[in-house]
Amino acid sequence: MTFSPKFGALALTTLALTLAACDNKKSGTTTTETTTTTTTTTTSAEPTGTLVIQESADVPTLDPGTTYDTASGQVVENLYETLLTYKGNSLTELEPLLATEWAEENDGKTYKFTLREGVKFHTGNDFKCADAEYTVRRNLVTNTSDSGNWFLSESLLGTASNANDDQSVTWQKISDAVKCDGETLVFNLPKADPAFLSKLAYIGQGIVDSAHAKEIGEWDGTEATWKEAVGKDLTGSALAKEPSGTGAYKLLRKDASTVAAVAFDDYWGEKAKIKNVLVQKVPEQAARIQAFLKGDADFIETGGRSIIESQLQGQPGVVVLDDLGDTTATGLSMNQNIKGGQLGSGKLDGKGIPANFFSDVDVRRGFVAAFDVPTYIKEVQLGKGTERNFLLPDSFPGYDASIEPNKFDLDAAKTYFQNAWGGQLWQNGFTLNASYRAGSRGMQTAMEMLKKNIEGLNPKFKVNILPKEWSEIIKASGQGSEAMVVTSWAPDYADPDNFVNTFYSSEGYYAPRINAKDEQIDAWIKEARSITDTTRRNELYKQIAERAKDQALYILMPGGRGVTVHRDNLQGVSAETYNPMLGFSFGGTYWKNLSKS
């Protein structure tokens, strides 16, 4: 997922996330696996109070079919529900949510789900198998580049692409992949996928109210019209404006600065304890901190560890959760074929850059060598950081710590820049526009550090750092018009492929956006995705890491330790209950599990 891209899946996450490799059920041999039905419980206590969350990002969409950023996801995961979710604080165990049990058949190529009865959508419509069938088919049909549906499509259709980009995607394939047998939901996969169940737990597969969706003008779910919906942008869809899920909260209103939700009276499970939730966009960090210290906000985006330790820790009413772990991967991307208005003069004349500025490997190597990772760890992460050699969390299988990370070396950076573009770069200089998400102190600091070091090498070098709204960055990055931007990924499912393919494959998520293509890396990734031999996969990932380092495809940010804060009158948040797979929530849990005193 990206930032928030979980991007999404383009996810520049503001949360402290922890992930670990997941035991994704059985595969290979014929097995049947059934999960015990969870008990539906309710409480008679009326919800009270208001939960207030303040952050710098806007909320681009409330349509689960395209939710792939952190700000949207934290709301959507509380309005909608998936078939499965993570059990407690476990990173490896799944439990039923809208399903009550499931069975795996046909050597892991068939899954049958028994669905929960007595569940209502926010409109009052009853939840039926047809809603789940419609949801999954809609995701496979639309499957835009700004959603997380690519990995669902890989599992069910054998391709990450939609029908516009891959002619093998047909209505027959889509309708065969997911269908109702009475009220039993059946998935048919072309080949076993051990990560399939964890993919279904991702909030992008939140089940929508199909009757409501059709009534307000969404795709009608039929073969006659499916081609018209292929690749349709759902960001501002009718469903994004009028959501109807089965979650414990329903939408009251959404505007440019606030999302307001209220506890759903007819929720099937244990009712929410807090009546109202406000998610507020507050760009100014000082304003968020002031509101938090006064008790006017319960969770805030803090701007990082240094702010927490210098301004919040030890203050009355403040609870700090530390050492939560960090299994996101973050880097500064360098677009090798920039499209649009980020070029200035468009020439290597000191007043801009050519579109293919970063296609010269010495330019990329120069930028990599100029980023001061040790100082970032010391000053921003306050010593709780680790250098990385690959855009794969060091807690994940496939990460090889024996590979030396790139080193901060301004002398080496100078040499690279002197060699770049046959000497023209050093002689003529350049002006580069680099973007970061407005309000993110950590991202801003990273850009400022890089700017200082680059400009200090040559007075003809100029780096302009531009704060932008997250929705603007998502759109521009999707169009390939950002020259440089901070990119980060919190995994949608726990397998190294979710990072390696995402960042490094020319058919992945980020690499196409920065026009990075390496045929050798592509071949290694393809092999790693097609085998289950762990030893061989690890060998391949080491080779990919070494070549990606040599080619300087990204400026790697260090890994860290997660830290978050909340007010002490908020119950239901602790290191013991924090589940980073519910990574969109500041508390690592659903809003329904929180209460206030």
Mean pLDDT of 471-483: 86
Region of poorest pLDDT, from 21-30, 69-78, 209-218, 267-276:
21-30
Band of the pLDDT at 325, cuts 50, 70, 90? low
**Distance, CA of 245 to CA of 76 (rounded, Å):** 9
Q: State what percent of residues in the chain have pLDDT above 70.
A: 91
pTM metric for this prediction? 0.72
Q: Which of 166, 181, 132, 162 is nearest to 226 (CA)?
A: 162
**Residue 422 structure tokens:** 């046959």
Higher pLDDT, residue 537 or 278: 278
Q: Which of 292, 445, 452, 436 is nearest to 381 (CA)?
A: 445
Class in CATH terms, 238-326+563-596: alpha beta
Band of the pLDDT at 512, cuts 50, 70, 90? very high
The single residue listed with the structure tokens 């889509």 is: 174
pLDDT tens-digit series, residues 108-134: 899 999 999 999 999 999 999 999 999
pLDDT tens-digit series, residues 354-387: 999 999 999 999 999 999 999 999 988 888 899 9
The confidence score (pLDDT) of residue 86 equals 86
Pair 581, 572: CB distance under 8 Å? no
The confidence score (pLDDT) of residue 583 equals 63
Region of poorest pLDDT, from 47-51, 285-289, 396-400:
396-400
**Distance, CA of 327 to CA of 341 (rounded, Å):** 34
**Distance, CA of 52 to CA of 301 (rounded, Å):** 12
User: Position 555: which residue type?
Assistant: I
Q: State what percent of residues in the chain have pLDDT above 90.
A: 71
Inform me whether the pLDDT recorded for 38 exceeds 90: no
Pair 443, 437: CB distance under 8 Å? yes
pLDDT tens-digit series, residues 196-249: 888 999 999 999 999 999 999 999 999 999 999 999 999 999 999 999 999 999
**Distance, CA of 430 to CA of 186 (rounded, Å):** 57
Band of the pLDDT at 17, cuts 50, 70, 90? very low
Q: What fold does the segment set 329-559 form as a domain?
A: Dipeptide-binding Protein; domain 3 (3.10.105)
The confidence score (pLDDT) of residue 450 equals 97
Q: Which of 214, 236, 226 is nearest to 67 (CA)?
A: 236
Domain positions in the chain: 238-326+563-596, 329-559
pLDDT tens-digit series, residues 437-450: 888 888 899 999 99
